Structure 1
């Protein structure tokens, strides 16, 4: 049984959740996160004339898949000044931090830690743009691992992943990365003039203790060929670290009913 499933009785004989110790909570100060395949560079640590901004624009110019902008809350950037304005203003989002994804010397994507609620020790991974140079690469998975590890090490209790329930790529990514489907918020918001139902996923600190082992095993050098091709998929490593208390079968049936 995981902590969120535990209950206790108060002085009025009512059932309530268990007490939470908050002494480990830390104010989140973004730092550069380095992996073997890629890096996460916090936007707020970059100088206004950073070459990474220009590098990011070159990536946007070469983007071959126009569909990457469909489910983001903004359209494709058509001018460099427009892109740099969004990056330097943190996409005009409060309670959010953003990172550029750097592979080699090139910035080829970004990811946000948004809707940060330090009091509750909860945040959401979102506003994610992975270019065609980054999608379905080892670096793409590694940078999410780096961000999750940073969050849980800093005392977060829960990390969320929310997306349009029609965004199959994002849903598949959430499941593959070990997030658990919680449900769908109907008519949650209006995006680009269209209705959006929001599929909600999450990962808890207790779950991360086991999920992180799967990531670490997958990222080991001997799991990749000299051509950087994986030998064993991340999902197979996930199966080696099952999490007691997760109703996987029930949740997957609910998810399939939602997207079908």
Structure 2
């Protein structure tokens, strides 16, 4: 085990606007960004994006903005907006949650990817830029991912991104009138160098062919390291 006798608490996440090859990540300011975000993750056509999110779906941008402003204030979320790095078009959002600077721990949650963002290099890069801030900039020890245990897509995403499964909290919450068993995943600081190297190798231009298809999967790269 690490010697933590000289441990000092970390700063809270404070990720400013950062631009990658595919996506830019910026602090989400409500109500200013509400219409932009709602245009790609709101409305009846996108109700399915909110199935496993504790909030939403929303009737309009005003309701969306009001709820987001409330939870950000009440639960100390640090919410970020994703944009296409080339066009500036909105793509989705995610939040740093359960922030515990005294333990060097935070969660990424309420991840809502628009249909345009799902299964793209930009989606992976957005998650990479958020986790890199905590470990490289702030020296965190732990990064969490939690989801409804019925959400198979989220569980697959956690493993793909390098999180390790820790277990299931049974009857953890009542969400939208239904039971939620919560699956817990994490990356810890000792695992981060390998996870980071895999992210960077996967995102590198040489990992994509002329049609933009990956040559090696993120899991394949990480397993080879």
Equivalence for 1:10:
none
Are residues 122 and 61 of structure 1, via their aligned partners in 2, closer, same or farther at CA, if it must alter by over 3 Å? Answer: closer
Farther-moved stretch of structure 1 (61-70 vs 178-187): 61-70
Equivalences for residues 54-69 of structure 1 within 5 A: 54-61=35-42, 64-69=45-50
1:181 is paired with a residue of what secondary structure? strand
Are residues 61 and 71 of structure 1, via their aligned partners in 2, closer, same or farther at CA, if it must alter by over 3 Å? Answer: closer
Equivalence for 2:197:
213
List structure 1 segments (4+ residues) > 6 angstroms apart after TM superposition.
Answer: none
Equivalence for 1:165:
149
Report if aligned partners of 1:114, 1:123 keep a CA contact under 8 Å in 2.
yes
For residues 205-244 of structure 1, the C-alpha deviation after alignment (integer angstroms, 9 at most, x for no partner) is 1100111001110010011123322111111101122xxx
Equivalence for 1:53:
34
Q: TM-score, normalised by structure 1?
A: 0.79
Equivalence for 2:62:
81
Write the distance in 2 (CA, Å) between the matches of 1:61 and 1:160: 26
Are residues 198 and 39 of structure 1, via their aligned partners in 2, closer, same or farther at CA, if it must alter by over 3 Å? Answer: same
Write the distance in 1 (CA, Å) between the matches of 2:183 and 2:195: 21
1:102 pairs with 83, 92, 103, which one? Answer: 83
Equivalences for residues 112-191 of structure 1 within 5 A: 112-153=95-136, 154-191=138-175
Write the distance in 1 (CA, Å) between the matches of 2:143 and 2:46: 28
Equivalence for 1:197:
181
Q: TM-score, normalised by structure 2?
A: 0.91
Report if aligned partners of 2:108, 2:143 keep a CA contact under 8 Å in 1.
yes
Report if aligned partners of 1:224, 1:230 keep a CA contact under 8 Å in 2.
yes
2:67 is paired with a residue of what secondary structure? helix
CA RMSD across the alignment = 2.0
Equivalence for 1:42:
27
Unmatched runs of 5 consecutive residues or more in structure 1: 7-17, 242-260
